[in-house]
Amino acid sequence: MPFAVSQLWAAPEINPINKKARSIPVLNPVDKYGRTFFFSWLGFMTAFLSWYAFPPLLTLTIKKDLHMSQNEYANSNIMSLTGTLVIRLMAGPLCDRFGPRLIFAGCLLAGAIPTAMAGLVTTPTGIIVLRFFIGVLGASFVPCQVWSTGFFDKNVVGTANGLAGGWGNAGGGITYFVMPAIFDSLMKKQHLTAHVAWRVSFIAPFIIITAVGLAILFLGEDTPTGSWATRHHVGDPITAPASSTNSIKDSSPLEKSEKDTEANTSVFPVDTAEGEVIVAPTLKEGLSVFFSLQTLALAAPYACSFGGELAINSILGSYYLKNFPKLGQTGTGRWAAMFGLLNVVFRPLGGVVSDLIFKYTGSIWGKKGWLVFCGIVMGCFELAIGLTNSHHTKTMFGLIAGLAVFMDASNGANFAVVPHVHPFANGILSGIVGASGNLGGIIFAIVFRYNGVHYDRAIWIIGACSIGVNVACSWIRPVPRGQIGGQ
């Protein structure tokens, strides 16, 4: 359906079979589809804000106050990503079992507890352990994407997931403004010492996370049809022409899926809709999804794109401070924030372009090609940053911005493909792909750890890995043969 500005606030057209919206009422939080979209990005944004609340103050203030070594600093980044990796793998099956809304709220409220305890930390080990438990907030990405996928139809799901993920990821940039600002205010206006001020600063993200988590719990809905138990309810099929119906019934599963794709988007066979209904996870189904080549083709590139983003986001302030010491902690923090804030535009753009490609080609291979392209260009920018190691601000900030454009677009393009693959286990798949991002973040954080302050060398190594992985996965067909639904 063509885009109209009124779709930004009007109640969306609903697919009569699966009850999903065919447009995104971005400016209408009263409508249940708009409300789900609103809490999807807001919840993830507040989670990301707190998950990355440490790096802006850790570069100088906390590191100095706790007498942290460079290795302890790196280890705290690694443990933060490890905590999220573990919970993301758990969150996927839990979303399929209990519904993404409850898991989303649970991640936020559980992460609020260690956030509030930041002020009690007195040793580097304490920071490392605390950041592991705060990592539960990063796992909120999984229910965020599963919840969004459950409410928006194939024609806009890439855009919806891209917007929710991109605006949410921007929390990692916003925190570079918010935390130093709160810290500076407490020192200048409340006359607190640095030792006390950074601890008090963490009360702000605790309050925000708790408020949003409770709002999702009490104001959100599980599915378009109501509670999670009603997700199996599909509408009455729209009758297609008899010749078309018979042709579909007589086809093999693969041919059937291909004909469904070619048919008008207003006609959805009931069996295809049922094939997209999430089922309670079993070990057999979980293992089949885990070991699928299609899962690998999504997980490996995401390990490079989101994993690279996580690792680079953790050290970017320090990298800037090393190359441009005159900027200071606050100045480098603000420039580092831009890396995360570009998610607002370019992660959604990755999803939008993916949806446009699907609209005009009807091919998931088109979406796959866009994903591979973004991943390779992203790797080229990482090579350029690492090999030049520029001490010229305009060159460095320009290259970092270029990297962010294609890195964010790659993330958005990835989760534009995810809803098409193994739709009956969207939670499991989202959890695996999301966790792979953290696995990549851990691997790349280790690369940074063993390269010490040679941040440039670590970044070009990440770039080489990114190009190699995306080329290696480019040949894998995006959807398994014979899959019904998702196409």
In this predicted model, which residue has the larger pLDDT, 349 or 282? 349
Task: Tell me which long-range contacts 213-217 makes (C-beta under 8 A, separation of at least 24).
Answer: 213/43, 213/105, 213/108, 213/109, 213/112, 214/105, 214/109, 215/39, 216/39, 216/43, 216/101, 216/104, 216/105, 216/108, 217/101, 217/102, 217/105, 217/109
| Domain parsing of the chain, residue ranges | 21-223+282-473
The angle, 0 to 180 degrees and rounded to 10, between the axes of the packed helices 171-188 and 203-219 is 140
CA 209 from centroid of its chain's CA atoms: 17
Mean pLDDT taken over the chain: 86
Kindly tell me if the per-residue pLDDT of 151 is higher than 90: yes
pLDDT, position 390: 92
pLDDT, position 40: 95
Of the listed ranges 22-31, 395-404, 464-473, the one predicted with least confidence: 22-31
Rg, Å, the chain Cα set: 22
pLDDT in tens, 374-399: 999 999 999 999 999 999 989 999 99
Average confidence (pLDDT) over 185-213: 93
For residues 145 and 18, is the Cβ–Cβ distance under 8 A?
A: no
CATH hierarchy code of domain 21-223+282-473:
1.20.1250.20
Of the listed ranges 193-207, 331-345, 467-481, the one predicted with least confidence: 331-345
Of the listed ranges 55-59, 247-251, 477-481, the one predicted with least confidence: 247-251
Of the listed ranges 10-19, 269-278, 465-474, the one predicted with least confidence: 269-278
In this predicted model, which residue has the larger pLDDT, 228 or 210? 210
Kindly tell me if the per-residue pLDDT of 247 is higher than 70: no
pLDDT, position 277: 61
pLDDT, position 411: 94
Alpha-carbon distance values, 349 to 4, 355, 419 (Å): 18, 10, 17
For residues 340 and 173, is the Cβ–Cβ distance under 8 A?
A: yes
pLDDT in tens, 289-313: 888 999 999 999 999 999 999 889 8
Q: Which of 322, 313, 298, 363 is nearest to 55 (CA)?
A: 313
Kindly tell me if the per-residue pLDDT of 234 is higher than 80: no
Give the integer Cα–Cα distance in Å for 321 and 325.
5
Kindly tell me if the per-residue pLDDT of 227 is higher than 70: yes
Q: Which of 71-75, 137-141, 370-374 shows the highest mean pLDDT? A: 370-374
Average confidence (pLDDT) over 263-268: 42
Give the integer Cα–Cα distance in Å for 39 and 191.
36
pLDDT in tens, 17-31: 888 999 999 989 889
Kindly tell me if the per-residue pLDDT of 287 is higher than 60: yes
Give the integer Cα–Cα distance in Å for 195 and 266.
61
pLDDT, position 9: 85
What percent of the chain is modeled with pLDDT above 70?
88
pLDDT, position 239: 42
In this predicted model, which residue has the larger pLDDT, 17 or 211? 211
Give the integer Cα–Cα distance in Å for 433 and 308.
14
User: pLDDT category, 272, cuts 50, 70, 90?
Assistant: low
Of the listed ranges 132-141, 244-253, 461-470, the one predicted with least confidence: 244-253
Predicted TM-score (pTM) of the model is 0.78
User: pLDDT category, 237, cuts 50, 70, 90?
Assistant: very low
Average confidence (pLDDT) over 321-330: 86
Kindly tell me if the per-residue pLDDT of 103 is higher than 80: yes
pLDDT, position 270: 52
Kindly tell me if the per-residue pLDDT of 46 is higher than 90: yes
pLDDT in tens, 418-436: 988 988 888 889 999 999 9
pLDDT, position 73: 84
Average confidence (pLDDT) over 107-118: 94
pLDDT, position 273: 53
Q: Which of 24, 63, 140 is nearest to 430 (CA)?
A: 140
